[in-house]
Amino acid sequence: MKNVALITGASSGIGLELAKVHARQGGDLILVARSTTKLQKLKEEIEDQHGIFALIIPKDLSIPDAALEIHEEVVKREISVEYLINNAGFGDYGPYHETDWHKEEMMINLNILALTQFTKLFGRDMISRKSGHIMNVSSIMAFQPGPLMTVYAATKHYVQAYSEALYEEWKEFGVTVTALCPGATTTGFAEVANLENSKIFKNPKLPSARVVAEYGYAAMLKGEMTAIHQLKNKVMVNSAKFTPKKLLLKIVRKMQE
């Protein structure tokens, strides 16, 4: 395999579109997600269209050490991963005292633990080769607390701080780390997070997963530290820095409601 990108959460949304973007560049793929059926369909589609090879690894990444098992399989196959894209993740909406702990535990395992373990394992390999690109999918919610999406926002705070720190640590080794920060996007995220009735996600002008994927992929190749999609999201993130915290919390909560 050549010019390999490993993409988690590759069966739908931004992850699926990132796979297509990389395939169009002629790169091979390792596609990771829970659904074998969806992965197999994507594999056949991009192999037929672009003449590349895609290895599928069905795996539930909310299970501890799933990332370690995948890394061991990749090493056993003697595959070098040049691009690691930690896209898998999900959110949940509702008053924190009413939300489901089991779902939140899975969210923490997926959004934080799996991402961190993947980055540790494949990042070490990249450092030894002094070459590689990593993209961690964060969110514009990484830049302020998220009332009514408390745990999700907190996981993205972690992803953002973690990615920025590694950007500084690893640039001297020729390894770039980019945090992609989308706003609301037309993916399956709203359905999983119980946000179908949110005014934000009912906006007919939301960007498509493909547009966000292309933007993020380009930012990763450039080695950007943080890539915030859309001007309005950049303005919102920057204005949050100067807004009193209590007022900011009220604004965010109103938007979520």
Counting other chains too, the contacts that 227-235 makes at CB distance below 8 Å and 24 or more residues apart are 227/178, 227/179, 227/180, 227/181, 228/140, 228/181, 229/180, 229/181, 229/182, 229/183, 230/183, 232/183, 233/140, 233/181, 233/182, 233/183
* Active-site annotation holder among 93, 152, 162, 167: 152
Please, which residues bridge with residue 54 across strands?
Answer: 29
Neighbours of 175 (CB within 10 A): 24
- Residue 246: which H helix or E strand, with range? helix 245-256
**Ramachandran category for residue 132: left, alpha or beta (phi over 0 → left; psi -120 to 50 → alpha):** left
d(CA 150, CA 36): 31
d(CA 69, CA 35): 17
Does residue 152 carry a catalytic annotation? yes
d(CA 230, CA 210): 14
Please, which residues bridge with residue 84 across strands?
Answer: 6, 134
Smallest Cα–Cα separation from 240: which of 160, 177, 162? 160
Residues that are catalytic: 152
